[in-house]
Amino acid sequence: MAVRQIVKIDDELCDGCGACVTPCAEGAITMVDGKAKVVNEALCDGAGFCLPVCPTGALSIETREAPVFDEEQAEALMHERGQVYITQRCFRCEIGEDEAPLVPVRHQGQSLWVCTRCLPALIHG
């Protein structure tokens, strides 16, 4: 167990649309009895790609004690499902997520990734 960021789903706000399931590449979110549920906290990386697709705002990120993210299990499940993980890269300098922290941004109508070194130039011009 570790204190880390993890997705929280409000059952009362969840309308069961399932839009959050697909962005969760690790498979932590599944539909159970017509509602989205984090079925395996060790598969939730806390990145939050599921949050912006929720039409009711039922998803949020909370910092709390949870099982450590199991990257090996997540990759094994992705492999079983035939998914291929594509390393994200900064749209300005092309550095990969394994080399520098990346943050998601909206720029000129596109959803992109930018590294923390390029972010100030993007903000300040």
Domains, the chain = 2-80 (3.30.70.20), 86-125 (no CATH)
The whole-number pLDDT of residue 12 equals 97
Which pLDDT score is estimated for 43?
93
Whose tokens are 């943050």? That residue is 103
**pLDDT digit string, tens, across residues 84-115:** 666 789 999 999 887 889 998 888 888 889 99
Question: What percent of the chain lies above the pLDDT cut of 70?
Answer: 97
| pLDDT at residue 85 in the model | 64
For residue 37, with 0-12 CB atoms within 10 Å meaning exposed, 13-18 middle and 19 or more buried, which class applies? middle
Average pLDDT of span 2-28? 93
Its pTM stands at 0.65
- Residue 42, exposed/middle/buried by CB under 10 A (0-12, 13-18, 19+)? middle
Rounded to 5 degrees, what are φ and ψ at 78?
Answer: -60, -40
Nearest to 39 by CA among 13, 73, 12, 83: 73
Q: Choose between 49 and 67: higher pLDDT.
A: 67
- The sign of the dihedral angle between the CA atoms of 101, 46, 77, 25 is negative
Residue 21, SS3 per DSSP: coil
Q: pLDDT tens digits for 74-89? A: 888 888 887 666 678 9
pLDDT at 117: 94
pLDDT on residue 107? 86
